[in-house]
Amino acid sequence: MKVSKRYSGKARIEMIPLIDVVFLLLVAFIFMMMSMVVHRGIPVDLPQSSTSCVDKKDFISIGVRADGKIFLEKEEVTLDELLSRLSSRHDKFLEMKVVIMGDKKAPYERVISVMDMVRKSGIVSLSLETKWKE
């Protein structure tokens, strides 16, 4: 028995499955690139506006003067004392928030050192206080 072959014209490439595959590859590459992003520096949660409110019971203020001296709740401390006090307070209350008030002429490396001590103590909610510009 002889089978006849019929050619009905040119072969077609279906575009919709091809578009689906390309889209899935694009999404996969985007997710891979997002996982490769390295965040350098200290994450800082800056206040949005003057209407933001922080509850006083879970709020610690740290001041850095222009001469580099550090103050925890208006009491002068060293970096090591700051770390130990923040760690002990963080152990008592896990949702502790820290606001750093640095003088605009304070050494930048001193403010970064304070931020490092806050992170080492385990506190993750950190804000920098600034003046409102009118």
- Among candidates 106, 89, 107, which has minimal Cα distance to 98? 89
**Amino acid at site 19:** I
Separation CA 120–CA 87 (nearest Å) = 8
pTM for the complete prediction?
Answer: 0.54
Report residue 2 as tokens. 């002889």
CA 53 to chain centroid, in Å, comes to: 20
Using pLDDT thresholds of 50, 70 and 90, give the confidence band for residue 48. Answer: very low
Identify the structural domains of the chain with CATH numbers, from first to last: 56-128 (3.30.420.270)
Separation CA 129–CA 104 (nearest Å) = 11
Percentage helix, strand, coil for the chain under 3-state DSSP, each rounded to 5: 40, 15, 45
50 pLDDT exceeds 60? Answer: no
- pLDDT tens-digit series, residues 69-89: 888 888 889 999 999 998 888
- pLDDT tens-digit series, residues 92-129: 777 788 888 888 788 889 989 999 999 998 888 888 87
CA distances from 27 to 21, 24, 34, 35, 54 (A): 10, 5, 11, 13, 39
User: Phi and psi dihedrals of 99, rounded to 5?
Assistant: -120, 125
